[in-house]
Chains A and B, each alone.
Chain A
Amino acid sequence: MADGWLKAGLGESGAVLLQAGGQWDAQNVTRLDQQLRSLAPGDNAPMVLDLDQVERLDTAGAWLLYRTVKARRAEGGQADFTGLTPAYQTMLEQVAANDQPAEIEPPRPPTLVAILDRVGRGTVEVGEEAKQQIAFLGLLLVSLAGTLRHPSRLRLVPLVYHMEKVGFNALPIVGLISFLIGVVLAYQGATQLQRFGAEIFVVNLIAVSVLREIAILLTAIVVAGRSGSAFTAEIGSMVVNEEVDAMRTLGLDPMEVLVLPRVLALVITLPLLAFFADMMGLFGGMLMCWGALDISPGLFLERLQGAISPWSFWVGMIKAPFFAFLIAMVGCLEGLRVTRSAESVGQQTTRSVVTGIFLVIVVDAMFSIFFAAVGV
């Protein structure tokens, strides 16, 4: 079977004769399209399209032929087909019947308008989201108060299940990250402090930074990425599946069934994770001091006692439940805000992680100011 081809020549009585042959199908139209477009826009000589040697014609090929004839006729010229079989005739009629230009893309506004439009929409959205977060916080507190009054309504099995998932299963990753940060802090601190001959103060550096800030902050960020996103995806896919609507019609409160167990599970387990991270961070620092600086574990622990007060520890721990509450709240809220498409589950999950981490850092800054003000 030959590829599609086109020959231009002179026919009877000065007519332009276009001979088409071979396969006029989608596989060949790209080339034939170029050829047809490059035909010199003729004087007004009549045009004859001879399809006698065409072996195969599909809608794409028929479109090219039809378009050529139509264009010539629109210029006031004459154009006709010859050598049509009934099948080709039908195909050309099909194409003619469906000749209707369509829109390809939605119209784009001018760039400046588009930028302003996006900024405007973004601003409104941020405001809207803040409003929803505050409303959700209220709803959550009401629900929490209800559960405190009737503790039997607390769903224990989901609570324990989520505690395992967000707490126990996060131990390896949280522990490893904190350990490594302890090592890095010791190493970086030591190289700087050595210049003043004050290597021993590296213990103070590790103790204060790990206990007050780094362990809890890192744990919160890991948990936001790990569990905040999981909350959003789990609840979101339930929304897509209409499970949440089904719950409401069955008289179950999604706040009580889905949100509270997750929030409580994280509020209970994040402080425990943070404590574990404290220990692993110090342990990593201690090992590094021992290996690289010849500060023995005994000496390290002795310095540690002098370097910190109980408050150094509590400053870190106090923040944990607050961070947990924020992460879980944002995770659940974004999950419930999923619209009924699979795409929006992905969008909301991303949003949940970003918002969760952002809020954790904002609140951490507020705590720093507060602790500085009260002097601990």
Chain B
Amino acid sequence: MVAEADPIIRVQGLRTQFGTQVIHDNLDLEVRRGEILGIVGGSGTGKSVLLRTIIGLNRPAAGRIEVFGQDVAGATPEERLALEQRWGVLFQDGALFSSLTVAQNIEVPMKEHLGMPARLRDEIAALKIAMVGLPPEAGSKYPSELSGGMRKRAGLARSLALDPDLIFLDEPTAGLDPIGAANFDQLIRRLQVNLGLTVFMVTHDLDSLHAICDRIAVLAEKRVMVIGPMADMLRHEHPWLREYFHGPRARAAQPQLREGPDGQLEEVRT
């Protein structure tokens, strides 16, 4: 087993570019086992590009990306397949296969990679459906018959199909109403605790950042400018960070904080 202290994702000197447009330059990032890491940054700073590069959908121009200690770009097809079975990805709108029902969507990886018999697949799919909080009758629905929130839950269930150690979420709460978004946050937190997941989450949702992220990485100037817990973000002096975390929308999301006796910020509970 990999020791607790080892990072589950290690990105070193990453450079990505499309044509002459450089998105990331000399970007370093480490994700620790068992944490929920939130990635924030202005539009066009390449948050989703970073996610796609780590999971191997974009090829980096330079740099090294290791996931579970395995070099992603240099992996042989067999190694890649093994990697892909250890992580799950939730795309923005779920990216469910539209010709399959929700349950069949969840069963796709089980059928393709593990050759599970139909009966066991159905049992495990039902389990995942319940775990992400979908009603049993949602299993036989097609993606077009579901609401946005249900599609995301179904997509999450599919990403959990093979019991991965690591999941990537691309704006999981975008497009959900505040109640749905809060529920989704709690779902992610609950699954992360119960299943021992590591979560890599691109988000713009300040509520999610406050509620569930252990650490936050800020993308700016083509690299990870700051990484740390929420309290660090709030203290940071960079103008963009101040505006982001202290702007009018941020104040509404922020729990009341005060300087504790040990100089740490702590939450005031009323």
Interface residues of A (CB under 8 A from B): 1, 25-27, 29-30, 33-34, 58-60, 63, 67, 87, 90-91, 94-95, 97-107, 341, 343
Contacts and interface: CB of A to CB of B under 8 A. Distances in A.
B103 A103 contact: yes
B110 A94 contact: no
Nearest to B115: A30
A98 B104 contact: no
Given A59-B124, A67-B123, 5 more contacts: A59-B127, A102-B129, A103-B138, A341-B98, A343-B144
Interface in B188-213: 194-196
B131 interface: yes
A105 B114 contact: no
Give the secondary structure class of B's interface: helix
A102 B120 contact: no
A29 B116 contact: yes
Nearest to A90: B194
Name the residue among B101, B110, B120, B125 with the largest chain A CB count within 10 angstroms: B120
Given A26-B114, A98-B127, A59 B195 contact: yes
Given A30-B120, A59-B163, A101-B126, A106 B115 contact: no
Closest 10 CB pairs of A and B: A102-B139, A103-B140, A98-B130, A58-B163, A102-B126, A104-B103, A102-B136, A100-B130, A103-B139, A102-B129
A106 to B, nearest CB: 5
A107 B127 CA distance: 20
Contact of B123 (A1, A63, A90, A106): A63
A29 B163 CA distance: 12
Contacts of B137: 102-103
14 contacts: A30-B114, A33-B117, A33-B120, A59-B127, A63-B123, A63-B127, A91-B195, A94-B194, A94-B195, A95-B127, A99-B127, A103-B137, A104-B125, A104-B126
Nearest to A64: B120
B71 interface: no
A59 B136 CA distance: 18
Contact of A60 (B103, B126, B163): B163
A100 B195 contact: no
B103 A102 contact: yes
Interface string B65-102: 00000000000000000000100000000000010010
A105 B107 CA distance: 12
A344 to B, nearest CB: 10
A67 B127 CA distance: 11
Nearest to A93: B194
A104 B101 contact: yes
B136 A101 contact: yes
B140 A30 contact: no
Nearest to B165: A58
Contact of B120 (A29, A98, A103, A341): A29
Contacts of A60: 124, 163
A151 to B, nearest CB: 44
A105 B101 contact: yes
Nearest to B138: A102
Contacts of B55: none
Contacts of B122: 104
Given A26-B163, A30-B117, A67-B123, A99 B130 contact: yes
B51 interface: no
B120 A100 contact: no
B156 to A, nearest CB: 13
B150 interface: no
